[in-house]
Amino acid sequence: MANSRTFTAAAAAAAAPATASAPAARGRLRAVAPDEVAHIPDFLPPGTTWLPAPQHALPTLPGQPPMVGYLVLVPAAAQEPAEPRPPVTGPVSVDPVRRSAEVDGRPLDLTYLEFELLAHLVAHPHRVHTRDQLVTTVWGYGHVGDGRTVDVHVARLRRKLGAEHRRAIQTVRRVGYKYAPPVSR
Q: What ranges do the domains of the chain cover?
A: 5-78, 92-179
- pLDDT bucket at 28, cuts 50 / 70 / 90: low
Burial class (CB in 10 A: 0-12, 13-18, 19+), 153: buried
The pLDDT value given to residue 46: 75
In the predicted structure, residue 27 carries a pLDDT above the cut 70: no
Instruction: Give 155 or 139, the one with higher predicted confidence.
Output: 155
In the predicted structure, residue 21 carries a pLDDT above the cut 70: no
Lowest mean pLDDT among 9-23, 41-55, 116-130: 9-23
In the predicted structure, residue 128 carries a pLDDT above the cut 60: yes
Burial class (CB in 10 A: 0-12, 13-18, 19+), 156: middle
In the predicted structure, residue 134 carries a pLDDT above the cut 50: yes
Give residues with Cβ within 8 angstroms of 142, minimum separation 6: 56, 57, 135, 136
- pLDDT bucket at 51, cuts 50 / 70 / 90: confident
The distance of Cα 6 from the centroid of its chain, to the nearest Å, equals 25
Coil vs helix vs strand at 172: strand
The pLDDT value given to residue 84: 61
Reported as type and span, the H/E element at residue 103 is strand 100-103
The pLDDT value given to residue 53: 77
The pLDDT value given to residue 79: 56
Task: Answer whether 103's CB lies under 8 Å from 161's CB.
Answer: yes
The pLDDT value given to residue 17: 47
- pLDDT bucket at 52, cuts 50 / 70 / 90: confident
CB-side neighbour CA atoms (13 Å) of 33: 2
The pLDDT value given to residue 185: 52
The pLDDT value given to residue 1: 44
With CA atoms as reference, report the closest residue to 70 among 60, 58, 80, 82. 58
Task: Answer whether 180's CB lies under 8 Å from 126's CB.
Answer: yes
Q: How far apart are CA 152 and CA 145, in angstroms?
A: 13
- Going by their DSSP bridges, the two strands 92-95 and 5-6 should be labelled as unpaired
Instruction: Give 16 or 157, the one with higher predicted confidence.
Output: 157
CATH class of 92-179: mainly alpha
